[in-house]
Chains A and B, each alone.
Chain A
Amino acid sequence: MKWEMVVGLETHVELATKSKIFCSCSTQFGGDPNSHCCPVCTGQPGALPFLNRQAVEYTVMAGLALNCEINRYSKMDRKHYVYPDLPKAFQVSQFDIPLCINGHLELSGGKMININRIQLEEDAGKLIHEGGKILVDYNRAGVPLIEIVTEPDFRSAEEVVEYLEKLQGILRTIGISDCRMQEGSLRCDVNISVREEGSSQLGTRAEIKNLNSFSFVQAAIEYEFDRQTGLLEAGKPVFQETLSFDSVSGKTLNMREKEDADDYRFFPDPDIPAIILSEEDIKRLRECIPELPEARIKRYVSEYRLPEADATLICKYKKVADFFDKASEGLKNPAVAASFILTQMFSKISTEVAREQWASPIPPEFLRDLVLLLEEKKINHNLAKNIFTKMLEEGKAPKSILEAEGISTDEVIDLDELCKSAVYTNPGAVEDYKKGKKKALQALIGNVMRQSRGRADAEEARKILLELLKE
């Protein structure tokens, strides 16, 4: 029997607002425990929430970027459960009228992943187990989150990972979240069930909670698929349960049975008036959404003739793509600029976080100037690489590096003239070459390079010299 997996995703994304959702405390990650706290986010009696408008707008932007309908009338609801990291014993979330509904995200093969809803809510604090005690840090309590819920449209772990990568790219591009899985600003719950291929019925699902890296997502789904098919093939039932993923053993573990559904006692939060969005609000937010990665990749491939892999990598980081766009202005062949970014700059700026932040030592105009010198054949590729290395080290423009090296770029190199001169002034080498000493050609190329102070294109010179030597 062939089995098919059915997966739906709930992704939690922390919004990059400066202050928390209901108070003016900082949302910054880290900090001493309970240093970003106030009466509101620690649930002191009498404290009241004040809804951060920016958090609402960011949620709407996420919805617009993910092709959602935006509810003009929305509201915040209280979701009750008791846990020490939840200071009010309820989480303010959205129940029946979330801000965004009915969206979708397209995977590379053209497959649509339908998005059921995007809701705005608050994060909880964190428990710290120390010396047999449970301590609570409320720094994270009240950080605004959005939960993006998909339909059960995924059929493989690869699809899930592609979706998450695309989602991360989109949300970073619109600037509403840094989406750092390692800091928990993007984390997801996977709902997975298994059924016979071709069946239209859904199997019993398990929920794997709080996965915080793409590779864990992939591994957890694959493990859970094998586990559930194993059960079904052995004629055993799959239970509805909540699982956690143990990254060391690579297994999913039971957290709690989920046989009777939790009763969260949702009701509208009486302290927060309904959220009303006007046509103008939505129009203004739509205008705030920059070109999304998908469109940008397409543009780079069709207009700039970049290989798709290069375009995808550049568009993974919005700031890199912005840098590339600036560096490409007026270039005949932007792919050359892309390759400088992807090779030399990426090896210098190597971590995910650093690329995301893209603290480039040079402005994009310097890279453009360098590529222009190449396009005008004033320098060759090797020299360009060396100059670029120095530019990145010293943060200087290509011209000032060349000047410091005593290389002038004012005159255009006449490669034919240089090659002719090399042949005429080195009869010995010509003689050797004609006797079959192929190495002698290197000496002639070396001469051309010296004459041009390293700016000539060695490959071009080789071709011209070979022609001259035939005569």
Chain B
Amino acid sequence: MSRIVQLRGMLEKKQISCRELTESYLERIEKQNGRLRALITITEEEALQTADTVDKKISKGEKLRPLEGIPMAVKDNISTMGIETTCASRMLSGYKPIYDAHVWQLLKQQNAPLLGKCNMDEFSMGSTCETSLIGGAKNPHDTNRVAGGSSGGSASSVAANMAAYSLGSDTGGSIRLPASFCGLIGLKPTYGSVSRYGLFAYASSMEQIGPIAFSAEDAAIVFDVISERDTRDMTSKGISEKTHPQLGRSLSGLRIGISDEMLGSAGDDVSRAVREAADVYRKLGAQLVPVSFSLQKYVLPVYYILSFSEASSNLGCYDGIRFGPAADKYDDIDHMISLTRSMNFGREVKLRLLLGTYILSSGPYDVYYKKAQNLRSIIAKQIKEEIFNHCDVFLSPTTPFTAFKSGTNLSSENNGDSYTTMANLTGLPAISLPCGYDVDNMPIGMQLIGKHFCEAQILNAAYMFERETDGAFLSRLETGYEI
């Protein structure tokens, strides 16, 4: 069921040239991007150049590397040298980075044709993609609905087959939520599996880059390429063993934790689909273990306090001095910096930066930051003791609900991140995979959280579910090239 393996086979058997393949993606982008707003920047020239390089290799009969020649897209907060990278913000409009992110370096080494940069919530701050400067990416399953966020463009582009796979980033659920809304696989790796070097930081202690793809196998292939250790990121550890060769292992004996409270708090369609998925796992030999997580209600407050604090620090570099558009009429340098920031940051970003700045100031620091930091360790301890001491993998819905109409106002208590963020606070790897459709025929996603650096286990669990259900829930909007 791997889109990537299928396309690579076609290239190697010369059923299609890489240029033709890339052009077909560019055509679909041209047709659909205006409507979907999945890509902020389209990099046709870059993609075709790479495609030609790949075609030369193919004509010489050389073997292709795992991602060689497979057209893809990258979230617009990942540094691509010479290619505009804006974080969907006015603050970076026109900014062409002077260096490559580690993940982009690795993809370049694979000769991966880059089709474009994916739309996102401004500086990843949002869960609908709608805080983007150009407006949110639309959900290809129903363009009146959001693609989810913050990596909305990464999901929208793949679901509409405008890219074979994409990279997103996940700080509180930003890969898994849009993957779930768009019927795709989204992997948030263990904190430290993938280098953050070149990821424009929002909340450094929580975020990871990861793939959004059609299938678990695709996600594993991409993850194996991008998870190479990087000495420029002190928190990068890489992974010890490739995950792709580990797919297909029996799930017999696998202990899957499941929380009745959590399932009960989700919408009916969603909890029903996840319960049915649990039954599939039982059939596959897994053992379902009831677990509970009483501190769940503190996850989002802790996440907000810490992520806003880190953001208020991380976004200090946007001062208009070295890059990005700057105010041109000002009294002095302080005035220039504050005008530049007032003009160029959107509303949601300003809100989070102001709150973060307040939280870190002396006084509130003890009341909020310190308390949240303590609570973060307590939550991690409970997750370890109450959940992972009893099971190998924790199963839940990815979000309480499916993709909703654009323009819906979400309350901060119910914004779709309530099940995903626990993986970010603890650094645990988590995957979202499609497991059903709701009454409106919108995709439902479920989440599997694994133990640290056990990506192979959750990828395999997702892979086995796909196989058992015959890919029934995989996105079928466009199946790409028919063979």
Contact = CB atoms under 8 A, between A and B. Distances in A.
A82 interface: yes
B360 interface: yes
A383 B310 CA distance: 73
B333 interface: yes
Contact of A47 (B92, B99, B310, B334): B99
Contacts of B317: 43-45, 87-89
Max chain B C-beta neighbours (<10 A), residue from A45, A90, A266: A45
B232 A263 contact: no
Given A47-B198, A89-B319, 18 more contacts: A39-B98, A44-B323, A45-B85, A45-B87, A45-B97, A45-B200, A46-B79, A46-B196, A46-B201, A47-B197, A48-B232, A49-B234, A82-B319, A84-B321, A84-B337, A89-B316, A267-B309, A267-B360
Interface string A41-56: 0111111111100000
Interface stretch (A269-277, A333-341, A406-414): A269-277
Nearest to A265: B360
B286 to A, nearest CB: 35
Contacts of A267: 309, 313, 360, 365, 369
B357 interface: yes
Given A89-B316, A265-B313, A270-B204, A48 B322 contact: no
Given A50-B232, A267-B360, A44 B313 contact: no
A273 B235 contact: yes
A1 interface: no
Interface of B: 77-79, 85, 87, 92, 95, 97-99, 101, 196-201, 203-205, 231-235, 309-310, 312-313, 316-319, 321-323, 333-334, 337, 357, 360-362, 365, 369
A90 B309 CA distance: 13
Contacts of B361: 263, 265
Contacts of A464: none
Nearest to B203: A270
Nearest to B195: A48
Contacts of B99: 38-39, 44, 47
B365 A44 contact: no
Nearest to B358: A265
B198 A46 contact: yes
B313 A78 contact: yes
Contact of A43 (B97, B101, B232, B322): B322
Interface string A77-92: 0101010100111100
A82 B312 CA distance: 12
11 contacts: A39-B97, A43-B317, A43-B322, A44-B99, A45-B79, A45-B95, A82-B334, A82-B337, A265-B313, A265-B357, A266-B360
Nearest to A82: B337
A136 B204 contact: no
A271 B452 CA distance: 19
Contacts of B319: 82, 84, 89
Contacts of A272: 234
B299 to A, nearest CB: 18
A309 interface: no
Contacts of B333: 84, 134
Interface residues of A, number: 31
Contact of A44 (B98, B234, B316): B98
Contacts of A50: 231-234
A335 to B, nearest CB: 53
A39 B235 CA distance: 18
Chain A interface SS verdict (over half): loop
A265 B309 CA distance: 10
Contacts of A47: 99, 197-198
A80 B316 contact: yes
Interface string A106-136: 0000000000000000000000000000101
Contact of A271 (B79, B198, B234, B365): B234
B204 to A, nearest CB: 4
Contacts of B322: 42-44, 87
B196 A48 contact: yes
Among A47, A78, A136, the one with the most B-chain Cβ atoms within 10 Å of its Cβ is: A47
The 6 closest A-B pairs by CB, nearest first: A89-B316, A270-B205, A265-B360, A270-B204, A45-B200, A43-B317
Given A82-B319, A267-B369, A46 B199 contact: yes
Nearest to A85: B321
Contacts of B78: 46
A267 B365 CA distance: 9
Nearest to A23: B232
Contacts of A88: 316-317
A87 B199 CA distance: 17
Given A82-B316, A90-B316, A265-B313, A45 B234 contact: no
A108 B201 CA distance: 52
Given A45-B79, A47-B197, A80 B321 contact: no
A48 B205 contact: no
Contacts of B369: 267
Contacts of B316: 80, 82, 88-90
A31 B234 CA distance: 29
A270 B205 CA distance: 5
A294 B87 CA distance: 57
Contacts of B97: 39, 44-46
A293 B102 CA distance: 47
Given A42-B322, A78-B313, A271 B235 contact: yes
Contacts of A89: 313, 316-317, 319
Nearest to A272: B234
